[in-house]
């Protein structure tokens, strides 16, 4: 009877610690949508950029990605961003899809411009750079040396 009580108490403690951890994780990492303003940006490709990804300036998180759609006219990726209300961006700022590393996640890096005019809520970041196709680059590096500019194997210059 004593061991059943001890096992029940330990189980309750484990469940309580797990619940505290989940509440802490959700409150610190969970999506934050209030207190900011919305911007949009169009990219040719946004590979690996999930909804909820960070938006950073100089490595500091200043917003998050709130949505992604395909523009039916231009077939470009339309990314919706929620920016912190304390950050004012010049209208000639640029955005690019960057990677945290070879196996890391993607985020949007913003380079502020130098214009005196500021982006308003609902505005669009016009200067964008899409994500890099890492597998395409590796493929070119591995197989690209075996072909010439026409895509054919070069003639052997045997001795």
The mean pLDDT value for 60-86 works out to: 93
The mean pLDDT value for 65-75 works out to: 93
Tens of pLDDT, residues 16-36: 999 888 888 777 664 454 568
What is the model's pLDDT at position 31?
A: 47
Tens of pLDDT, residues 32-43: 545 689 999 999
Percentage of the chain beyond pLDDT 90 is: 51
Locate the domains of the chain by residue range: 1-30, 34-132
Dist. CA 62–CA 84, nearest whole Å: 6
Tens of pLDDT, residues 126-138: 999 887 777 777 8
Q: Average model confidence (pLDDT) for the chain?
A: 83
What is the model's pLDDT at position 146?
A: 52
């Amino acid at each position: 009877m004593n061991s059943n009580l001890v096992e029940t108490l330990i189980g309750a403690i484990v469940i309580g610690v797990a619940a505290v951890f989940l509440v802490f994780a959700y409150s610190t990492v969970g999506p934050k949508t209030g207190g900011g303003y919305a911007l949009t940006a169009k990219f040719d490709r946004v590979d690996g950029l999930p909804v909820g990804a960070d938006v950073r300036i100089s490595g500091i998180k200043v917003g998050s990605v709130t949505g992604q759609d395909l523009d039916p006219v231009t077939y470009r990726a339309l990314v919706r961003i929620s920016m912190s209300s304390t950050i004012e961006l010049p209208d000639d700022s640029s955005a690019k899809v960057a990677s945290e590393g070879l196996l890391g996640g993607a985020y949007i890096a913003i380079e502020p411009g130098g214009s005196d005019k500021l982006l308003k809520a609902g505005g669009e970041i016009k200067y964008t750079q899409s994500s890099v196709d890492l597998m395409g680059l590796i493929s070119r590096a591995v197989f690209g040396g075996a072909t010439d500019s026409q895509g054919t194997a070069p003639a052997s210059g045997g001795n």
